[in-house]
A and B are shown apart, each in its own frame.
Chain A
Amino acid sequence: MDSFWQWVAGAMLTVVLGIALGKHSKDISLVLTMVVCCMILLAAAVYLQPVMEFVKRLQTMGQLDDGYGQILLKAVGIGLVTEFAVLICNDSGNSALGKSLQIAATVVVLWISLPLMESLLDLIERIMGGI
């Protein structure tokens, strides 16, 4: 929990340094922001590991198909990475780039969730056929 306060302090420090640098070299200021974002996300991932293990345990307890859980996890991963990239794009003033990345991520998530939709369709067909 202590490291959380370090992240907050690091982010505030970066804001000040970024403003100071931004007046003369905007590019290096942007790189500084990106590095700190990466560092905070890397540090936060340590706390995500036990959560993922818990999700895996729930999956085994509920005897769910591993394929479905994997699709869900992949979608979450794509969402997180895309959000990070989109925010950086917006910060640097390239919102068109960010928006197109968001659309691309949506398409990819739809593509990876196709097996889920197919199995849902199969289930509906089976139920309707049974009636």
Chain B
Amino acid sequence: MEIDLIFKIAAIGIIVTILHQVLARSGRDEQAMMTMLAGLVVVLMMMAQKIADLFELVKRLFRF
């Protein structure tokens, strides 16, 4: 099990949250939202790979 991936996603979440807070407090709401969106896309890309792996495995294992 790749524990480092869990930490990687959690770290991205924390960094994005901090950036969001800092930007929102300084009045740059648009940039704060963009940062949040970028973080989400990065994490989604990681997730998409894993989900593709899982579906491929299920297809192979259950002879679809």
Contact = CB atoms under 8 A, between A and B. Distances in A.
A8 to B, nearest CB: 10
B10 interface: yes
Interface residues of B, number: 33
Contacts, number: 98
B62 A73 contact: yes
B55 A81 contact: yes
Chief secondary structure at chain B's binding surface: helix
Interface stretch (A19-27, A89-97, A98-106, A122-130): A19-27
Given A21-B17, A38-B50, A77 B9 contact: no
Chief secondary structure at chain A's binding surface: helix
Interface residues of A, number: 37
